Amino acid sequence: MGIVEENAILEAQRAYFASDEHILDRAARYREMSPEECLAEVIGLCRDADYYLAMKSEQERERALAPQPIPDDTLAILERLQHR
């Protein structure tokens, strides 16, 4: 397999993970679950996240957990909504 084919595969993967289809596929498993089952699943995912974060250095954890800055245009929209 050449570089062109590998890049095409990576692009297809990127497009899928950025798509609504991916979100629908991820959400499908929760549709048939009870609220209690969904909560248990979320708790399990939080435990997984804690496990993987524990394997990181302190600097990597801080970087991973740092809040993303809100873009200026989004802040402007929120400020306008707040003043209504």
Kindly report, residue by residue over 43-62, the tens digit of the pLDDT.
Answer: 999 999 999 999 999 999 99
- Same domain for 26 and 51? no
Whether residue 84 is predicted with pLDDT greater than 90 in this model: the reply is no
Whether residue 11 is predicted with pLDDT greater than 90 in this model: the reply is yes
Range of the structural domain that residue 67 is part of = 34-84
Whether residue 12 is predicted with pLDDT greater than 90 in this model: the reply is yes
Kindly report, residue by residue over 18-48, the tens digit of the pLDDT.
Answer: 999 999 998 998 999 999 999 999 999 999 9
- Same domain for 15 and 44? no
Counting every residue, how long is the chain? 84
- Same domain for 20 and 47? no
32 CB-contact burial (10 Å; exposed 0-12 / middle 13-18 / buried 19+)? exposed
- Same domain for 9 and 42? no
Instruction: Give how many domains the chain has, as a whole number.
Output: 2
Q: What is the pTM of this model?
A: 0.54
- Same domain for 75 and 53? yes
- Same domain for 28 and 38? no
Q: So what's the pLDDT on residue 8? A: 94
> Model confidence at 1, in pLDDT bands (50, 70, 90)?
confident
Per the structure block, which two tokens stand in for 55?
């394997």
- Same domain for 21 and 59? no
